[in-house]
Amino acid sequence: MSPFLPTQAMMQNLPIDPVLPEDAVLRGKLAKIIAGVCRCEPEPLLDDQPFTTVITQFDSLAILEILLEVETEFHIATDEMLPSDPANNTTEITAVFPANLSALVSYMHEVVARRAKGQAATDDHEARRRARLAAATRNENNTTP
């Protein structure tokens, strides 16, 4: 695991639309990641026992380490996995992090969908900008004697 936070340049190298594997495969990979990072057994994680029950020291550092590994494996930036609700900015990350493996899988799907929706809005905005530019160029060319 990397001992430093990703830089903006590193995040720019992440794929625009990460594709998550089937849920069974995703659960297995996440259980392996979490078991490795937090030094616990993967089976209780796969049984959807709460992280706080399975992981001896489930704190913000453990969550950050998990998120960094998720970023490496699935190309979802750590910042995207953190709460985006301003009301949660002062809340301890352990209080808002998914409670178990199924909740984490579900949340990862939400994050990927949110990214795709944001990318679609950006693409739509760019298409409108290009259309306006093309129309302005045509108008400019038509008014030139």
Which pLDDT tens digit goes with each residue over 98-145?
999 999 999 999 999 988 877 655 555 555 666 666 666 666 666 555
**Domain annotation covers residue 63:** yes
Q: Sorting pLDDT into bands at 50, 70 and 90, what band is 89?
A: low
> How far is it, in rounded angstroms, from Cα 104 to Cα 28?
12
Q: Is residue 113 part of a domain?
A: yes
Number of domains in the chain: 1
Indicate whether 4 belongs to any domain: no
Assess if residue 121 is contained within a domain.
Answer: yes
On whether residue 38 sits in a domain, the answer given is yes
Let me know if residue 12 belongs to a domain: no
| Calpha distance 32→109 (Å, rounded) | 19
Spatial separation of the C-alpha atoms in residues 105 and 110, rounded to whole Å: 9
Nearest to 67 by CA among 125, 1, 14: 1
**6 in a structural domain:** no
User: Containing domain of residue 55, as a range?
Assistant: 18-143
